[in-house]
């Protein structure tokens, strides 16, 4: 009798084990979200060496990605890539503020600029410009004090202020210009043209924070040149633009690689982690759809696995009781 029970138990255990193996094989792999890798600058002046500035996806921007995270492929050849995070000693921040705005909008500019200065790592040098005056060698404390003392000044041109500030040579590999301005900024053909010409030089970018109750219907010729454009209401959260710009900057990487000899084929640059993959062909943006998550199937399999484990535990207890009789 006991022998027959043991044979039945062995068969049940084998069946439960087979169920577990089948469920383990059916578990889906972790889905990798695919997206577009933003490339905001391409320097071809040193061909066949190519240098690009890539922005890691938001989920990876806070990480200090290792060199092996980036891959550059030309046709079927992987090119050795040198990668450096821009924030790691390669960035200069230039803050420009528009004073030709109402007092409430200037107050919002001041608050947002202060939040940005507090958010950016202390190792990043910051230059400040207002009305064409760029304090030389000013500390962050000096800049914060200067910002606090600003008052509205009608008739000033923030475009001219920006252009004047850009005349100075950058103090780092890359310069990010953050322009705080009103939504209804009057067009400035000369000043805007000067800014456009300066930004055409390599290793510079423009980020704009537009302050106003509503920017709808207000065109800005500089906005088309900007890497990021955020809007801030006079009574809005001053920390939101600072966070958006800081996230953008912390995700920027300088990538350098040499092209295959004699080949003019495009290069696909990819960054990948366990959960995110982003790619773009230099000069051609191609977005790929993220795979749909299979939550229903995952929960069903997990439930089946738990049930099988429970069966095994119960059978084990039954065998123990038989052996102790």
Q: Which comes out higher in pLDDT, residue 288 or 83?
A: 83
Q: Rounded to whole angstroms, how far apart are CA atoms 305 and 309?
A: 6
> Rounded to whole angstroms, how far apart are CA atoms 158 and 40?
24
Give pLDDT tens digits for 77-100: 999 999 999 999 999 999 999 999
Please report, for the chain, the start and end positions of each structural domain, with discontinuous segments joined by +. Answer: 2-28+296-323, 33-86+253-281, 91-250
Using one digit for the tens of pLDDT, what is the confidence trace for 98-124? 999 999 999 999 999 999 999 999 999
Model confidence at 316: pLDDT above 50:
no
- Three-state DSSP at 142 gives helix
pLDDT in tens, 23-68: 445 545 556 788 999 999 998 888 888 999 999 998 888 888 987 8
**Radius of gyration, alpha carbons of the chain:** 29
- On the CB side of 297, CA atoms within 13 Å amount to 10
| Residue 221 near residue 188 (C-beta atoms within 8 A) | no
Does the structure show a pLDDT above 60 at 297? Answer: no
What is the band of 15 on the pLDDT scale with cuts at 50, 70, 90? Answer: low
The class (CATH top level) of 33-86+253-281 is mainly beta
Confidence of residue 322 (pLDDT cuts 50, 70, 90): very low
Confidence grade of residue 5 (pLDDT, cut at 50, 70, 90): low
What is the mean pLDDT of the segment spanning 203-217?
A: 87
Residue 307: per-residue pLDDT: 38
Distances 127 to 68, 88, 136, 138, 315 between C-alpha atoms, Å:
33, 18, 8, 7, 73
Domain range 91-250, CATH class: alpha beta
Stretch 187-211: mean pLDDT: 87
Sorting pLDDT into bands at 50, 70 and 90, what band is 291? Answer: very low
Rounded CA gap, 163 and 101, in Å?
19
How far apart CA 45 and CA 51 sit, in angstroms, is: 9
The closest alpha carbon to 165, from 148, 177, 154, belongs to: 177
- pLDDT value at residue 18: 52
């Amino acid at each position: 009798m006991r022998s027959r029970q043991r044979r039945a138990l062995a068969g049940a255990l084998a069946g439960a084990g087979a169920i577990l193996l089948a469920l383990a094989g059916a578990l889906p792999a972790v889905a990798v979200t695919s997206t577009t890798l933003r490339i905001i600058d391409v320097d071809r002046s040193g061909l066949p060496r190519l240098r690009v500035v890539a922005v890691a996806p938001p989920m990876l921007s806070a990480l200090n990605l290792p060199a092996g995270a980036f891959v550059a492929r030309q046709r079927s050849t992987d090119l050795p890539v040198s990668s450096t995070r821009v924030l790691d000693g390669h960035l200069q921040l230039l803050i420009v503020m528009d004073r030709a705005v109402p007092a409430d909008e200037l107050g919002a500019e001041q608050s947002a600029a202060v939040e940005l200065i507090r958010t950016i790592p202390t190792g990043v040098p910051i230059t400040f410009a207002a009305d064409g005056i760029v304090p030389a060698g000013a500390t962050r404390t000096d800049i914060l004090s200067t910002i606090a003392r600003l008052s509205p000044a009608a008739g000033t041109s923030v475009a001219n202020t920006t252009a004047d500030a850009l005349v100075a040579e950058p103090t780092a590999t890359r310069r990010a210009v953050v322009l705080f301005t009103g939504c209804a900024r009057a067009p400035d053909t000369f000043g805007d043209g000067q800014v456009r010409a300066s930004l055409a030089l390599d290793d510079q970018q423009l980020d704009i924070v537009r302050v106003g109750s509503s920017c709808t219907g207000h065109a800005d010729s500089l906005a088309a040149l900007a890497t990021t454009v955020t809007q801030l209401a006079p009574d809005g959260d001053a920390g939101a633009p600072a966070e958006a710009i800081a996230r953008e900057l912390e995700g920027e990487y300088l990538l350098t690689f040499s092209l295959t000899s004699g080949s003019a084929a495009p290069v696909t640059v990819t960054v990948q982690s366990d959960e995110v993959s982003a790619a773009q062909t230099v000069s051609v943006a191609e977005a790929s759809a993220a795979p749909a998550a299979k939550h229903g199937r995952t929960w069903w399999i997990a439930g089946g696995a738990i049930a099988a484990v429970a069966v095994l535990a119960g059978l084990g207890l039954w065998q123990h009781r038989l052996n102790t009789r």
